[in-house]
A and B are shown apart, each in its own frame.
With several copies, the nearest count.
Chain A
Amino acid sequence: MEVIDAPQRTRKVGTLQQAAALIKDGDTLAFGGIHSHNGPMALIREIIRQGTKSLKLIANVSAGMPADLLVGAGCVDTLMVCYVGLEHLGMAPRYREAAEQGRIKIIDGDEIYYVLGLKAGALGLPFVPYPPGHEARDNPKREPTYQRTLDPYTGREIIVSPAIAPDVGIIHAARCDPYGNVVHLGSVVADDLIAKASRRTIVTAEEIVPLESIQADPKRTSIPGHYIDMVVKAPFGAHPLSCHGVYNHDEAAIRDYRDADIDAYLREYVFGPKDHFAYLEKFGIERLLNLRESL
C-alpha cells in the first residue's frame, strides 16, 4: 500500500567545506586510520585551508602524515601522542621540530591511554583504572594527566588515566551510505571507538552506497550511522595514504612530503588546488589508478 505524506529520511551528505566548517578553533579533534593508511587526508587539507587554529589533536594510535601536516600547518596547539612518526620512512619532521622547540604542548599517551581513554569517553566512565605494573613506567610519572586512586577491592593505590571525548572525530572509509552506515573493507583500527567517543563524527568515503547495499549484509557495517553526523564523498580521499581495500598508499608522495619545505608543500598541495579534485589532478589519473588494489 502507498503511504501518503510520510516524511523522508534525511541524507547526511555534505561537502568537504561543510565538514571542515564543523571543526572550530580550539576543538579537540581525533582522526582515524593508522600509519600511512585510512587517514582522512582530503578533509585534513580542507581544515588547513579554512585556517582552523589551536586544535587539541588526538593523534591516532600510530599517526604519521595527518598529524605531521596539521602541526606543520600551524593548526595544532596540543598534541596527544601515542606514536607520531613515518614508520620505515623515519621521523615525522614537523612534529619533531615543533615538539623539540616547545611550540606545541605534548600529552604523552600510549596505546592504553589512547584506546581505553576513548573507550571511557564513549561510555562516560570517569577514568581508566590500571592494573599493577605501570608504576614501573615513566609515562604515568612524567605525564601529569595520569592520577592515582584507591582500589577498594585490594586496598592498593592504582594509576588512572583520563577519559578522552573529542569534540569532533574524522575518519575515512571505503564505503558509507547516505545515513552514515560505514563499511571498512580492511582494518578498522580505532575508527569505531573514535566515532563512539566523539561528540560529532564526520566520515569521508570513497563512495556513497545505497542503503540497500548496507541492509543486504548488516554484519559488514563497521560503524552504525547513528554515530555519524556528516558523510562526504571523497574518492582517493586518503591520498597519499592508502584506503584499505581500495588503493595502496603512494609512498613516493609521502617521501616527497617528508623532504619538502613545509610552506612550499602547503602552497602547492593544500592552498594551491581549489578543491580535492584539483589536488588529485596534481598526481594525474594514471598514477592514481595504478595505486588501486582490492583485497
Chain B
Amino acid sequence: MQSTMSKSSYSTGELMAVAIARQMKHHDGDWAAVGAYSQLPAAAMKLARILYAPNLWWLAGGGGAINSSSKLVTSTSDHRVLRGAEYVMNMEDIVDIEMWRYSRDNGKIVAVVGGIQIDQYGSSNMVCVGDYAAPKVRGVGTVGLCFGVSFGIVYFFTMHHTPRIFVEQVDFVSSPGHTPERKKYVPPLCQGPQLVFSPLGIFDFAPATGTMRIKSLHPGVSVDEVQSKTGFPLGVPEQVLETEPPTAQELAVLRTQVDPDGLLRELRITR
C-alpha cells in the first residue's frame, strides 16, 4: 500500500518536508512554531496534521496564523496564510506562548528553526560571521531564536549543507545548543536541539557529549560526502540508516493538498 518511490520522483525539499512531518508523530497535541522563510517546516506541519498528528497546533511565523490550512505560499506572514486558520496571533500572543510554555502540562512547545551557522553542539547563530565588533557578515539578527532557551524541543532545518553553515563553533550564540551554559542556566524541561534536517541527512546529538551525529542519510548520500561538507567531525553510528523516502501517499497529499503550486520543488536547496 505505502509503496516507496524512486529517488528521482521527488525533490529534496519534498523529502525533507516529509521527514519533518513524520517527526511530528511524536508531537500530536503539542504546539509547534515555524518562522520566516520556512516553506519546508510549514509544508511539514500541514502534511503532519493531515496524516500523522491531527492534534498538532502550529504557528505560521510572524503573520500569526494558527493551524493555517491554505495552500503553501512563500512567506509565512503572507495574508493568504490566514485563510482557514483557527486564530491569528499578534506578537504579544506569540511571545506569551513561546517564552514559557513548559510550565503547562498539556503539551510541549516545539520549534523548527534555522541559522546562518549551526555548530557541533547545536548552538545557532543569526547575528554575525566573524568578530561581533567587526563582522565579515552581519546577519539578520537573533529574532525568534531567543526562545531557544524556553522551547521544550528545538529542531533545525537548513536549505544548504556546507562547512560555512555547519561550523565547529558559532561566532555568536543566538540560541545555545548542548553547552555547559545551557546545562547551568536553562531549565531541564527545555531540552534544546534534538534533530537537524539538512539536504543531506538527519542528525541528532549524542547524549553523552551533546555533539552532532548522523541519524540517517538521504538516499544517495555517503558518510564521506556529508563529512566533507561539515565543518566538524560528525558522529557516525555503526550502521548508517537511509532516510526513508516519501511514500506515494505522502507525496500525493503533499502535491494535492499541501503544495499544489509545487513550491517545494522549486526551492533553492544545496546538496
Interface residues of A (CB under 8 A from B): 1, 3-4, 6-10, 34-37, 61-62, 81-85, 87-88, 91-92, 95-96, 99-100, 102, 106, 108-113, 115-116, 119, 122-125, 131-139, 142, 165, 177, 179, 181, 185-190, 192-193, 196, 199-200, 211, 214-215, 218-219, 221, 223-226, 229, 242, 244-245, 248-249, 293, 295
Contact = CB atoms under 8 A, between A and B. Distances in A.
B127 interface: yes
Given A137-B146, A186-B88, 12 more contacts: A3-B253, A7-B54, A35-B75, A85-B140, A110-B143, A123-B100, A131-B150, A133-B149, A138-B172, A165-B103, A245-B79, A295-B83
Contact of A295 (B79, B98, B137): B79
Contacts of B53: 7
Contacts of B140: 81, 83-85, 91-92
Interface in B76-98: 77-80, 82-98
A187 B88 contact: yes
6 contacts: A8-B54, A81-B141, A112-B99, A187-B79, A189-B64, A245-B79
A258 to B, nearest CB: 14
Given A3-B51, A35-B36, A110-B146, A99 B135 contact: yes
Contact of A132 (B95, B138, B172, B187): B187
Interface stretch (B11-19, B173-181, B210-218): B173-181
Contacts of A112: 95, 99, 146-147
A136 B149 contact: yes
Nearest to B91: A190
B184 A136 contact: yes
Nearest to A81: B141
B199 to A, nearest CB: 16
B181 A87 contact: no
Interface stretch (B55-63, B220-228, B231-239): B55-63
A136 B86 contact: no
Interface string B143-183: 11111111000000000000000000000111110010110
A104 to B, nearest CB: 10
B28 interface: yes
Given A61-B143, A218-B87, A35 B62 contact: yes
Given A123-B96, A295-B79, A113 B143 contact: no
A215 B84 contact: yes
Interface residues of B, number: 87
A283 B126 CA distance: 35
Given A62-B36, A123-B100, A124-B100, A133 B186 contact: yes
B45 interface: no
A181 B93 CA distance: 15
Listed from nearest, the 7 A-B pairs whose CB atoms lie closest are A124-B100, A133-B149, A224-B87, A85-B140, A83-B143, A110-B146, A110-B142
B106 to A, nearest CB: 5
B63 A187 contact: yes
Given A100-B138, A115-B91, A221-B87, A6 B51 contact: yes
Given A82-B143, A83-B141, A226 B185 contact: no
B149 A187 contact: no
B146 A218 contact: no
B65 A218 contact: yes
B176 A136 contact: yes
B240 interface: no
B154 to A, nearest CB: 13
